[in-house]
Structure 1
Amino acid sequence: MPKCSAAYTGDVAGSDALEGLVRFYHRRLVAPAYALCENRSDAEDIVADAYVRTWPRLVRGQVYDPAAYLRRAVVNDTASWRRHRFVVRREELRRRVNPAPDIAEDQVAGQDEL
């Protein structure tokens, strides 16, 4: 496995490695996620997803610097989260401004006959 950064040199193949990685980096990753999404729960979820997606690459030795890799994963995931929230809020607003008409099918059929 390539040498990891000086900040974290734990053996990523060991059974306690993920726990050590989380313990060492968690606060450093949640803080920027929170700053970008302004919601603690969402920031925690984003960081957890970054661990899940990064872990297989760490175990295979494909990550040289876990801190930088995790930080980039968190920033990318937060950007995706923000885009998703923008689309959801836009759709909610559109539905409030232009609500779907409450017309029963029999009313529509009657209008067609007229």
Structure 2
Amino acid sequence: MRDDDAGRGAASGTGQEPDAGNTDDAAGDAAEATAVAATARAEFDAFYAATARRMVAVVYALTGNLADAEDAVQEAYARAWAKWTRLQADGDPAGWVRVVAQRLAVSSWRKARNRWRAHVRHGSAAAVPELGPDHVALVAALQKLPKDQRRVIVLFHLYDLPAETVARELGCSAGAVRTRLFRARQALAEHLGEETAPESAPAASSAR
């Protein structure tokens, strides 16, 4: 009986010892997860460095407000990092960031516009600080275009997207994109001419 008890005790003691193989597997899994996370971070950082500057330019051209454009783009990239693996699998993270940044910028602009209107109704307009830096001539001219023309100019010329990609993003045909581009270029040329026209011209004509 005592020999049997001793055998059972020895077996029981052996079962309580840690499994070296399982420990090694766990350590290997942890190291692999760390490596995967580091790779994902490096890939995202490279993606950000390659696309962020142009992304700000695109959103700025659409909204006309540099501060709002920068804020919207930063928030869009933060959201992209939160779902980076899925965006990589989808194959077009830049397109996703661009769409999100544009929506955020438009939302921010609408909120700012509503705050301004409320202030004008209930307070002194003279007390409102300046709304930001002067727009460059191109951005000022873009703001005069209809929204569909402005977007097609920005996406095609500033972001260098092909007409087919612009069409998918705008939900129209490639032919419609080309038509909008033609009309937008004509209108933009006229507005740029207005922006650069000499200020003395009206005075000279009125003097006659």
- TM-score range for the pair, normalised by the shorter chain length: 0.5 to 0.7
Residue 57 (structure 2) pairs with residue 31 (structure 1)? yes
TM-score (ref. length: structure 1): 0.64
CA contact (8 A) 1:51 1:70 kept: yes
In our comparison, the structure showing a higher alpha carbon Rg is: 2
When residues 84 and 35 of structure 1 are mapped into structure 2, their CA distance, relative to the original with a 3 A threshold, is same
Shift of 1:37: 2.8
Distance 1:60 1:13 in 2: 15
Look up the SS of the partner of 1:14 in the other structure.
Answer: helix
C-alpha contact (below 8 Å) 1:57/1:63 kept by paired residues:
no
- Whole-angstrom distance in 2 between the partners of 1:86 and 1:12: 42
After superposition, where does 1:1-114 map in structure 2 within 5 Å?
A: 14-61=40-87, 64=90, 65-96=92-123
1:47 partner SS:
helix
Counterpart residue type for residue 99 of structure 2: R
Gaps of 5+ in 2: 1-36, 125-208
Structure 2 contact 44–84 (Cα < 8 Å) conserved: no
**Partners of 2:51 and 2:94 within 8 A in 1:** yes
CA distance in 2, matches of 1:55, 1:18: 7
**Cα offset for 1:42?**
2.2
Q: 1:40 to 1:61 in 2, by over 3 A?
A: closer
Q: CA deviation at 1:45?
A: 1.1
TM-score, normalising length from structure 2? Answer: 0.37
Across the two proteins, how many residue pairs are aligned to each other?
87
Query: RMSD between aligned alpha carbons?
Result: 2.4
The one-letter code sitting in structure 2 at the alignment partner of 1:20 is A
Paired-residue identity, %:
31
Q: Which has the higher helix share?
A: 2
Alpha carbons of 1:41 and 1:53: their partners in 2 closer, same or farther (altered >3 Å)? same
Runs of 4+ aligned residues of structure 1 deviating over 3 Å after TM superposition are 60-63
Higher RCO (CA 8 Å, separation ≥ 6 residues):
1
Q: 1:55 to 1:15 in 2, by over 3 A?
A: closer
**Distance in 1, Cα, partners of 2:93 & 2:38:** 10
